[in-house]
Amino acid sequence: MYEAIAALIRADLLSAYRLDPAFLRRFDAHFPRLAREFLTVYGDRVDALLQLRSLAGDLVVAWEERPDELHLLDNEREHDTTWYASEQMVGAMAYVDRWAGDLDGVRAQIPYLRDLGISYLHLMPLFAVPDGDHDGGYAISSYRDVRPDLGTTEDLAELARDLRAAGISLCLDLVFNHTAHDHPWALQAADGVAPFDQYYWIFPDRTMPDAYERTVREIFPDDHPGSFVPLGDGRWAWATFHRYQWDLRYANPEVFRAMAREMLSIAALGVEVLRMDAVAFIWKELGTPSESLPQVHHLLRAFNAICRIVAPAVVFKSEAIVHPDEVATYIDTDECQLSYNPLQMALVWEGLATTKPLLLQQALTRRHALPPGTQWVNYVRSHDDIGWTFADEDAAELGIDGHDHRRFLNAWYTGRHEGSWARGVPFQENPRTGDARISGTTADLLGLVQGDPFAVDRITLAYGIAMLTGGIPLLYLGDEVGQLGDPDDPLVARDTRWVHRPPRPEERYAQAGDPSADAGRVYAALRDLIALRRAWPDLAGNALTPFDPRNEHVLGFTRGHLLVLANFSPWPQHIAAEVMSGQPKVATDAREGGTRYLRDGVELTPYELLVLDVTGAGWRSGSVDE
């Protein structure tokens, strides 16, 4: 049926436009799928086919507007569909204003990024925002205009080009669950102007908000209770996050089409990865939690099919910081090719707090594998809070009570627990439920701020795990010089995540080459890890085999020729000889060089991250046949 619908629409398009053969080829390959996803969601509306036909027309227009150089990149990427799985991929992320001032400032940092080995750069949202609060750019007033203090849309396109020329893929957010309350769509919706009056969830009184709130979770309770905000005249608008971020009403297919046009205009700037912000929330349904409903997946797949037709160079990264079962539902080459790995992120912190990476070892064993063609983005921290998104069922198998353990972790990382080296700050602490998440830079949370002797080793270990487990490792820029947080930033009072978003630490960058400074020690360690990641084809892709070190303080896994053993404790650890009996007697230390004798087992120093080339000596110099 969808083939037939696609054929009808194709004939109609051919009568209206002169179409490029490459467009037609991609249309034929992907439009039936787009039709299926779109009609699964909107099929019972009388105007469903008309909407689909209009969408097809939008695609032709977007194709024509897409620059030639990007059409060329599209052709390349069509033949290299897993470019993002290469061991050469190493990501970094930053706020343009805070890390580099403006877009020109980012351009000036390209040599630095190249030298560090970065090949993917996520710039935090940089489009126009309201005056005053804007959630670090996540409240967007126009998807077509760059924030004036950062530069122009042309500057952005030029920066994307320069990055690409330097081998760095640009990632930007698609903030598509909500717009700012002063986006022209929102202003007109509030004024009741058609068609925008159907673009948001605005209700005349509390009846429907009360009904929805019976089953919907509170996300930002510090900002406002529940999910709705008053408009001042008795009406209420759905705002999952801050009061100035209004949720779009995807129940209306025109909203989907409008956002698809914004997506393709962002893609046309030369963006190669779109970070799909707050994916879980885009579909609401009375009587449900309105998170990760089936329609969310259909719509993401529809957006994905649109990119396959118009901009196949673009892939999606899912931002679902939720239960691991739910995270997994977004990961598919037809949906999001990439996904943050919030479970691994949380469990590295968990392992460091407990000194026992047992939950992490379990996660690598049962939750790491992904469908072919998809990859994790492995990170130590992002611009957001750190939340404890492990599965209670998994924890229970290890005798851990999820609820109590989260309380322990929050106490540990806010420095309230005895013996803690962490100096984090709670985020969205909800006294009603006892929930909280954690803010603070990596250096704050791992002890650098108060001069703990193991802080650098912990930072190295945490980033080492991200670099070694697969997918795309992601560096939070500033972390490579051990940047400390700024609890005095005035924005912190309203949102503690600003603690870990301070301005560029010039003095620490100046010390990056100084091995006697903290900054220099962290920098040298992280730089070496990035070089290691890029030197070993074994680290491409996602395939990983867990290795049981039979020591509860040590994490173990292999990636191709490499065996990784990571001591999560501040004490020396021993790996028994019988555990190593399947390994060669001698192995090369891939980080430090030199050899390690494995016959009597392995000694690990506190927090040691040991990476062994277990093919014996010299595989990389070609002495062992592959």
Enumerate binding residues for ligand OTU (CB under 6 A). 135, 138, 175, 219, 241, 277-278, 280, 319-322, 383-385
Residue from 182, 277, 435, 613 carrying the catalytic annotation: 277
Cβ contact 280:322 at 8 Å: yes
DSSP H or E segment with residue 350: helix 342-354
3-state secondary structure 123-178: ECCCEECCCCCCHHHCCCCEEEEECCCCCCHHHHHHHHHHHHHCCCEEEEEECCCE
> How far is the C-alpha of 260 from the C-alpha of 310, rounded, in Å?
11
Amino acid letter for position 58:
D
Cβ contact 333:374 at 8 Å: yes
Instruction: Kindly give the pairing relationship between strand 91-94 and strand 120-123.
Output: parallel
Output the smallest distance, CB 34 to ligand OTU, in A.
25
Preceding omega of 195 cis (within 30 degrees of 0): yes
Instruction: Kindly give the pairing relationship between strand 315-318 and strand 273-276.
Output: parallel
The phi and psi torsions of 229 (rounded to 5 degrees) equal -125, 145
Q: Would you say 247 or 613 has its CB closer to ligand OTU?
A: 247
Sequence length of the chain is: 626
Output the smallest distance, CB 427 to ligand OTU, in A.
7
Output the smallest distance, CB 91 to ligand OTU, in A.
15
According to DSSP, the residues that pair with 238 across neighbouring strands are 228
DSSP code, position 289: -
Cβ contact 270:164 at 8 Å: yes
Residue from 319, 394, 518, 538 carrying the catalytic annotation: 319
Q: Would you say 134 or 508 has its CB closer to ligand OTU?
A: 134
Q: Mapping DSSP to helix (H, G, I), strand (E, B) and coil, where does residue 308 land?
A: helix
> How far is the C-alpha of 588 from the C-alpha of 619, rounded, in Å?
10
The phi and psi torsions of 237 (rounded to 5 degrees) equal -115, 145
Output the smallest distance, CB 122 to ligand OTU, in A.
11
Output the smallest distance, CB 456 to ligand OTU, in A.
28
Q: Would you say 382 or 542 has its CB closer to ligand OTU?
A: 382
Task: Return the ∠ at Cα 436 (arms to 346 and 223), rounded to 5°.
Answer: 125
Output the smallest distance, CB 292 to ligand OTU, in A.
9
Long-range contacts of 48-53 (CB under 8 A, 24+ apart): 48/253, 49/5, 51/253, 51/254, 51/257, 52/5, 52/9, 53/9, 53/12
Helices and strands (H and E) in the chain: how many = 20, 25
Output the smallest distance, CB 193 to ligand OTU, in A.
25
Q: Would you say 336 or 587 has its CB closer to ligand OTU?
A: 336
Query: Can you tell me which residue has the tokens 């404790």?
Result: 569
Per-position DSSP letters for 216-275, written without gaps between them: PPPS-TTT-SSSEEE-SSS-EEE-SSSTTEEEB-TTSHHHHHHHHHHHHHHHTTT--EEE
CA distances from 476 to 90, 91, 201, 352, 443 (A): 11, 9, 35, 19, 11
Catalytic status, residue 78: no
What spatial distance separates the first Cα and last Cα of the chain, rounded to whole Å? 48
Q: Would you say 466 or 611 has its CB closer to ligand OTU?
A: 466
Catalytic status, residue 319: yes
Cβ contact 476:93 at 8 Å: yes
Please compute, for residue 317, the number of CA atoms within 13 A of its CA located in the half-sphere on the CB side: 29
Q: Would you say 291 or 486 has its CB closer to ligand OTU?
A: 291
> How far is the C-alpha of 364 from the C-alpha of 358, rounded, in Å?
10
According to DSSP, the residues that pair with 610 across neighbouring strands are 565
For CA atoms 451, 528, 353, 553, give the dihedral sign: negative
Output the smallest distance, CB 97 to ligand OTU, in A.
15
Catalytic positions, written as ranges: 277, 319
